[in-house]
Structure 1
Amino acid sequence: MKNAVNLTRDIIRLHYDRKLDEIIQYMDENVVWIGPLGSQYVTGVENVREILRIEQGIPFIVTNEHYSLLCEDGQTATVYGHYTVSNMGINHYFFLQDQRCTFIYRKERGGLKVIFMHVSNPADNLLGKNEDFPFAVGKKAYELVNKKIRQNREKPQRVKFKDAARGDHYVNLNSVLYIEAQHRKCQVKCLKRSFEIKEMISDVEKELPENFLRIHRSYIVNMDYVIDCCRYQVNMEGNIQLPIPVKRYAAVFDHLTIYYSRQLSKE
């Protein structure tokens, strides 16, 4: 028989690996589950199954686990712990959250059965919708992404353009917000200025590093200055909105998500 601490670790991992049937085998028929969402206050194994089924398409990674035995007697065992779950942009979903849990088990002849489980998220570290992100988001995720973006901006990235007025022109790419095509020329929009270059946007695109993304036939954006992506535009620092074609939206969204996820994975 698995002890209660190891079984708790297994259940958490199975849950975030989205192995629902394997989780259910450890549940008592009358299990009570209280989770962090309003809908996650249910009694009975079939109600638990129904709620968990909704989440099966979004797997997570579990790290920083720590579980402890609170108490144990001849009939029950109680375990508490904490861990971090994260998602790196799979299925258009980004998430990084610390969680805490409590599991109570009944000892049966065939092994331990969960009779009560409670999972919660800390509520003192959320950013509201009126801040830099247009939706409520964990402060930890927000700070990690922005730390990586700040580091990217500090790296020297210089490229030579053919300036329309002065010939060769060396530009610090960290200051470039976006580049806009204008017939056979381009307008380079920087934080504090803009200038025209005698190059086609398709040629410019080939010279740019991975933090630049072509979102439209006429626009290349510096992803380090993108605040969010919504139908059908990107919102950038400086209150700038740039369009995304409907047919290109999903690909742009995925590319942005993957880019920010990579910044986190470098931590």
Structure 2
Amino acid sequence: MKVLVPVKRVIDYNVKARVKADQTGVDLANVKMSMNPFDEIAVEEAVRMAEGKGGHAAGTATEIVAVSIGPVQAQETIRNALAIGADRGILIQSETDLEPLAVAKLLKAVVEAEKPDLVLMGKQAIDGDNNAVGQMLAALLDWPQATFASKVEIKDGKAVVTREVDGGLQTIAAQLPAVVTVDLRLNTPRYASLPNIMKAKKKEIAMKTVADFNVDVAPRLTVVKVTEPPKRTAGIKVADAAELVAKLKTAGAL
């Protein structure tokens, strides 16, 4: 079974994002970048499918392809996926930050060329927090989808996925090929070992451009302004529970 894992280069989750002075976007100059944490979980799960770990039969995944869309520096993100255990990578170079629909269209083109049995991806990227690409990709491909996966099993030609929903857990079965988006509690990604990092340097990364796929990626949205969230105001102290209840009852008192 071939597994395609999209991975995105984002600002490292430990870094506080800064807004540009002209409020046109987030300042990425001299900022540490890394793989989107949800995508890292997806890569780990795909590798476990190949290794026979995490409840998967050995050899469930026979090939793992990591694909990224972004600047040439996104090769580092793909190399990280290769060091974790992916077999090869594809980078679609784009110097502009594409909208979720454009990303889904490009991934659809990659899926049609690679013909994977499963697309395993993070539920969202921590930069835009859109949580949209997986669902859009499934719709464009007309494939079954399972989102917010906290457990994935492959059996009888189906992906049996336990989903985290507001009311608890929901288990569904999606006929392969399918799109599955993963949540935080699916697994804990491994640290890439030094030997695997060295091996990753020799693995193939196919370099593509957006123009190679003849896909309309024109933006549908216009960013008017990007601002930081307002700073929290200082709290107040109350003498006792009765005063707290009284202030909670008074709109705007706290």
Settle same-fold status: TM greater than 0.5.
no
Indicate the structure (1 or 2) with the bigger Cα radius of gyration.
Answer: 1
Q: Between Structure 1 and Structure 2, which shows a larger proportion of strand residues?
A: 1
Tell me which of the two structures has the higher relative contact order, counting C-alpha pairs closer than 8 angstroms and 6 or more residues apart.
2
Q: Tell me the TM-score normalised to structure 1 length.
A: 0.19
